[in-house]
Structure 1
Amino acid sequence: MRAEITIRRAEPEDYAAVQAIYAMPRAQAGTLQLPFPSLDLWRQRMQAADPNAHLLMACAGDEVVGQLGLHVSANPRRRHVGELGMGVRDDWQGKGVGSALLAAAIDLADRWLQLRRLELQVYADNAAGIALYARHGFVEEGRHRDFAYRDGAFVDALSLARIRPG
């Protein structure tokens, strides 16, 4: 049985929970985060007031199990675009956390922020992530060869995007 996942806005005091997510090996491997994330760095990130950043937290009860950032472009010609980044705790992957975060972000983008386009990068070897994004309407737009250095080797990433229907 899956626990109920609730989504809420991030608060500055969530920094330790977010740092704990990105300290986990699988969550870290799926992002651009480095090993040994600094608690102080996450404190600063979470306390920075950026009106173009919408940070969402996935919770199972009182426990933070995932985080998503939706960053709206500050460029006036790209104000219709949001970029997504997400991390889910290793022990909660495959349990609907990513899907709940993504659904909430899409709802926010479509119904409240007037965003037409959502975009993201995902490592080409992240089959579960690619499938998750496809289920939510994202399509591949290109491949970035040697996009990032991870665990001693260069890895490719795919650019995915979703255009709001209608």
Structure 2
Amino acid sequence: MEDIVRDARPEDALRVHEIMVADHTMTGTMRVPHQPLEYTQNRMASDPAVFKLVAMRDGKVAGYAELVTAPDAARHSHVGEINMICVHPDSLRKGVARQLMAEMIRMSDDWLRLKRLGLYVWTDNSGAISLYQEFGFEVEGTLWAYVWRKGEFLDAHVMGRIV
């Protein structure tokens, strides 16, 4: 079966929820434990300014990503934010995040006319930082004590890509 990236659909919610509640997702994002399936379903609801994608491997959702845009903001409509890239525990380190990032970059460059893409990443997430750098993102600054995680404050890099 072919590996593809496509729009997220309501029937993907249970598998996306498995990704969202995985420990590695909570460690790398702002999510907190014990969120109900309904939270994920609501997050996946249609929003014309947020492109929600899934990577499919062997007919199953292997990853989920969100590209947030601001089409109604006249002076900010050229900017997008990679809000989330997360991978199912069964598919870690298999190129799923790279596949999702490549599709978001393609959409940004070829369809949405986005001049700037930005994202936040925890400073200890070296794998993600390397991936983002491969796609042309650069560290633009560091936000000290940005997030509370497992009993301590953690810093975040702001990364950006200008085309």
**TM-score, with length taken from structure 1:** 0.92
For the 8 Å contact 2:67–2:104, the answer to whether it is kept is yes
Match of 1:56 in 2: 53
SS across alignment from 1:37:
coil
Q: In the TM superposition, what whole-angstrom CA distance separates every residue of 1:56-96 from its partner, at most 9, and x where no partner exists?
A: 10111211111010000242211001101211123322110
Structure 1 residue 123 corresponds to structure 2 residue 151: no
SS across alignment from 2:15:
helix
Between the aligned partners of 1:26 and 1:154, the Cα distance in structure 2 is 17
Deviation above 6 Å: which 4+ runs of structure 1? none
SS across alignment from 1:106:
helix
Task: From 63, 75, 79, give the equivalent of 1:66.
Answer: 63
Q: In the TM superposition, what whole-angstrom CA distance separates every residue of 1:104-140 from its partner, at most 9, and x where no partner exists?
A: 0000000000101110000000000000000111000
Alignment of 1:32-47 (within 5 A): 32-47=30-45
Alignment of 1:4-153 (within 5 A): 5-47=3-45, 49-73=46-70, 74-84=72-82, 85-153=84-152
> Once the two structures are aligned, what percentage of the paired residues are identical?
36
Matched to 1:134, the amino acid is Q
SS across alignment from 1:8:
strand
**Unaligned ranges ≥5, structure 2:** none
Matched to 1:80, the amino acid is H
SS across alignment from 2:44:
helix
Deviation, structure 1 residue 12? 2.1
For the 8 Å contact 1:27–1:90, the answer to whether it is kept is no
Between the aligned partners of 2:92 and 2:118, the Cα distance in structure 1 is 21
Deviation, structure 1 residue 17? 1.5
Residues 144 and 4 from structure 1, CA distance in 2 versus in 1: closer, same or farther, beyond 3 angstroms?
Answer: farther
For the 8 Å contact 1:65–1:97, the answer to whether it is kept is yes
For the 8 Å contact 1:28–1:35, the answer to whether it is kept is yes
For the 8 Å contact 1:70–1:82, the answer to whether it is kept is yes
**Unaligned ranges ≥5, structure 1:** none
Deviation, structure 1 residue 19? 1.1
